[in-house]
Amino acid sequence: MKILVCVTSVPDTITKITLTDNNTKLNKAGVQFITGPYDDYALSRAVELKEQLGGSVTVLNVGESDADPVIRKCLAIGADDAIRVNAEPTDAYFVAEQIAAIAKESSYDLILMGRESIDYNGGQVHGIVGEMLGLPSISPVMKLAIEGSTAKITREIEGGHEELEAGLPLVLGCQEPIAEWKIPNMRGIMSARTKPLKVVEPTGKETLTHIANYELPPARGACKMIPASEAETLIKLLRTEAKVI
């Protein structure tokens, strides 16, 4: 089985974000980047499937050279090789176009990625990739088992879960608890240094959307402590100041 896992390189959730270029770009100086957490789930399940069924796992990232450490970590976790499309991941359509172009070059049985990245949280890429390749696209996937050429899937829906079966190949957006995150061991870290990481140039159209500007959330205000005996005061403040009721 050939599995393609698409991963994002995103700022760590504890990183302090600042902006540059008149609030149109993230200031990457001093930012710690990590693999997107949902992508980590997809990669972990891919490695498990490879161990169960045999085959290979290829990691794909659309990003610039600063994403290489994140890609190497994916290789250390158990991916066999990696491809990086040398371009800034500017919008969902552009990223999906790059993924689809790579996928068309090889016959992948399964294309996995996170349900969304944690920087833009768009949740669009898996659906666009599926459309471009003419393949089913399902998200968010919580459980995945492969039996022959059939994928047995549990996905989250509003108010419950849905059990599905779909024929391979297909595109899946993953989330917990599809697998447990894997931590690379020393052997994996050493072997990742020699695993192939192929860098290719982007293809297709230019970005279809452009950022006008970003805005940081307002600073956290002072906390008012209201005694439990003064419920009426609390309700009044929630109505007049917080305006949440």
- pLDDT tens for each residue of 62-93: 999 999 999 999 999 999 999 999 998 889 99
What's residue 155's pLDDT?
Answer: 94
Q: Residue 238 falls within a domain, yes or no?
A: no
CA distance 5 to 43: 6
* Residue 133: partners with Cβ closer than 8 Å, 6 or more residues away: 100, 103, 104, 111, 171
- Residues 189-203, mean pLDDT to the nearest whole number: 93
Domain boundaries, position 109: 2-217
Closest CA to 75 of 178, 195, 241: 195
| Residues 156/139, Cβ–Cβ less than 8 Å | no
- Residues 117-132, mean pLDDT to the nearest whole number: 91
Q: Residue 243 falls within a domain, yes or no?
A: no
- Residues 201-223, mean pLDDT to the nearest whole number: 82
CATH number of the structural domain spanning residue 168: 3.40.50.620
Q: Is the pLDDT of residue 15 over 90?
A: no
Q: Residue 234 falls within a domain, yes or no?
A: no
Considering its fold, how many domains does the chain have in total? 1
| Residues 41/175, Cβ–Cβ less than 8 Å | yes
Closest CA to 70 of 197, 163, 179, 187: 197
Q: Model-level pTM?
A: 0.84
Q: Cα 184 from chain centroid?
A: 19
Q: Is the pLDDT of residue 205 over 80?
A: no
Q: Residue 78 falls within a domain, yes or no?
A: yes
Report DSSP state, residue 239. I
Q: Is the pLDDT of residue 176 over 90?
A: yes
Q: Residue 231 falls within a domain, yes or no?
A: no
CA distance 212 to 220: 25
Q: Is the pLDDT of residue 159 over 80?
A: yes
pLDDT bin (cut points 50, 70, 90) of residue 97 is: very high
